[in-house]
Amino acid sequence: MVVGDVTTAVSTLVVGAGPGGYVAAIRAAQLGQSVTLVVDGPLGGICLNSGCIPLKALISASRRFRQLNDESLQTMGIQLARASFDWGQMQAWKTGVVERLSGGVAKLLAGHKIEIVHGLGWFLNEKELRVEGEYGSHRLAFEKCLLATGASPRELPELPFGENVLSAQQALALTELPTAINVVGDNYVALELATLFANLGVSTTLLAGGDKLLPEVDQAAVRLVQAGLRKLGIQVVTGAQALKMDGTELVYTAGGKEKRLAGTVVVSHGVKPNTGKLNLKEAGVKTGPDGELTVNAAQVTNQPDILAVGDVTGQTPLASVATKQAKVAAETMGGRKVAFAPQALPRVAHTTPELAYTGLTAEAATQAGYEVVTGRFPLAANGRGLTLGSESGVALVVAEKGSGLLLGMTLVGPQAGDLIMEASLGIEMGATLTDIAEILHPHPGLAEMTLESVESALGLAIHTL
């Protein structure tokens, strides 16, 4: 790579190395494109370095610790002396996991002969991008450019990020564990953060603005999750309106009264697309009201040679969405005809019990115009659930009345996030309740929950009355 203000012609230029950018770079290289990747920050993006992966690592570790103190161990005949943990060591272990994954991404990129340019990129015009980094400035003339610059935590106007108000990423990087933490938000990240800190014995309050947690999820399932949060000692306050920070105290109203809470505040209020620094005007690329890049199903923006994937498009900010869009975009750049058009979007919340859902809830299906039939199966009636010592959980299935076309599934219980894929596959394949009911499920196994909920929708459940 030439340093200085010399224009270098590149073929496929990918900006951003998160789960959208690095996947697009690899897929484009697999398809025979010559790829240059502009990286501003660590390989793997937020998801790998400061978001999903660290959060899941810390939740797993904290859950292991929490389980040591669970009374169910005693009923199984297990007695433990007082267990303890070292937050610093837990963080170090998390960092090890992250580094291993990030190193893996670096090896993959190298293996695909993807050229990496470090620095912040912005457009000079619709054909050129300038990258300014530690080692100088590059002027890159591209044939195709894919933007995967992600998104940043969105602030609450009342609670700007600062010393006592942290984003989720900052909370995960705390070097010292606070004694009290107040999580503001009703989304899955807020619930997971509360779970993590409560597992470690931090006095935790979860403040949701509306009257529901996870409003888009079937509330019959959310009630079990909420009971789980309470069991961990989390104070759940709904209808809470944050007003301001007063020193180290959070001031908010709930039930018409003004209240105060001491402790570190963590805000999880969604994300804002990172487009501000791209100088999109010079490239003639249009953005939506939130600064998001509007794309078609082939991931192309209003400029035919500029594409975008992932959080920067303002769509559901999930790595699974970004990586799929990345593959679609890479194929589009390769001249293929492809579309991002999933039928089901599986989602997981790593709470205790775990929650996962895919497709439509009964409510959403009805709104979409379906006449629905539903089925339900409680974990307490599942043999494997009991042998795992878990009782709190449920499987809720939604299908079209008559045809039995599978429309949606919500699962609460151990490994819900993995078990959900049976239903997700079914929805994508256009499977019916009968298709699922005809399949053998291992016994005793948690997947039997899916089977029995489906049979319940068919009016043929064996293990419930």
Q: Which of residues 85-114 bind another protein (CB under 8 A)?
A: none
Whichever of 110 and 368 has its CB closer to another protein, that residue is: 368
Q: Is 335 in the site for another protein (CB under 8 A)?
A: yes
CB closer to another protein, 202 vs 225: 225
Measured from the CB of residue 465, what is the shortest distance to another protein in angstroms? 30
Does position 273 interact with another protein (CB under 8 A)? The reply is no
Q: In this chain, which of 216, 258, 290, 438 binds another protein, going by CB under 8 A? A: 216
Q: For residues 392 and 173, what is the distance between their CA atoms, to the nearest angstrom?
A: 31
Site residues for another protein, 292-311, by CB under 8 A, read: 294-297, 300-304
Please, are residues 392 and 463 in contact by the beta-carbon 8 Å criterion? no
- The reply on whether position 7 binds another protein by CB under 8 A is no
The reply to whether 366 sits near another protein by the rule CB under 8 A is: no
Applying CB under 8 A, which of residues 102, 315, 323, 392 lies at the interface with another protein?
315
341 is an interface residue for another protein by CB under 8 A: yes
Can you tell me the distance from the alpha carbon of 404 to that of 410, in angstroms, rounded to the nearest whole number?
17
Instruction: Give alpha helix (H) positions in 188-318.
Output: 188-199, 219-231, 280-283
Cα–Cα distance, 23 to 459 (Å, whole number): 44
Q: Of residues 115, 132, 155, 400, which one binds another protein by CB under 8 A?
A: 400
Distance (Å) of CA 101 to CA 1, 94, 109, 349: 26, 11, 13, 22
Identify each DSSP E strand in 219-299 by its residue range. Answer: 235-237, 241-246, 249-254, 257-262, 264-267, 271-273
Q: Is 463 an annotated catalytic residue?
A: no
**Nearest distance from C-beta of residue 431 to another protein, angstroms:** 9
Catalytic residue among 269, 350, 443, 463: 443
The β-bridge relationship of strands 241-246 and 347-349 is unpaired
Which helix (DSSP H) or strand (DSSP E) does residue 385 occupy?
Answer: helix 383-387
Q: Which tokens belong to 175?
A: 């070097």
Binding segment (CB under 8 A) for another protein, from list 90-98, 194-202, 227-235, 426-434: 426-434
Q: 448-457 vs 416-429: helix axis angle to the nearest 10?
A: 50
Gap between the Cα atoms of 395 and 411, Å rounded: 5
- When binding is defined by CB under 8 A, the residue of 429, 438, 443, 444 that contacts another protein is 429
Residue 361 near another protein by CB under 8 A: yes
Stretches 157-165, 167-175, 365-373, 374-382: which one binds another protein (CB under 8 A)? 365-373
Taking the C-alpha atoms of residue 102 and residue 89, their distance in angstroms, rounded to an integer, is 20
Identify which of residues 178 and 273 has a Cβ nearer to another protein in the complex: 273
Q: Count CB-CB contacts under 10 A for residue 421.
A: 16
Spell 1-36 as b/e; 16+ CB within 10 A means b: eeeeeeebebebbbbbbbbbbbbbbbbbbebebebb
The answer to whether the CB of 14 falls within 8 A of the CB of 21 is: yes
**Site membership for another protein, residue 257 (CB under 8 A):** no
Report, in Å, the least distance between residue 424 CB and another protein. Answer: 10
The reply on whether position 339 binds another protein by CB under 8 A is: yes
- Under the criterion CB under 8 A, does residue 436 sit at the interface with another protein? no
Query: Is there a contact between 214 and 274 (Cβ–Cβ < 8 Å)?
Result: no
248 lies in the site for another protein, by CB under 8 A: no
Residue 410 interacts with another protein (CB under 8 A): yes or no: no
Task: Note whether 209 binds another protein by CB under 8 A.
Answer: no
36, 13 contact by CB (below 8 A): yes
Number of residues in contact with another protein, rule: CB under 8 A?
49
Footprint of another protein on 370-389 (CB under 8 A) = 370
> Applying CB under 8 A, which of residues 375, 408, 414, 417 lies at the interface with another protein?
408
Give the residue numbers marked as catalytic.
443
Contact residues for another protein (CB under 8 A)?
125-127, 216, 284, 286, 294-297, 300-304, 315-316, 321, 334-345, 347, 358-361, 364-365, 368-370, 400, 403, 405, 407-408, 427-430
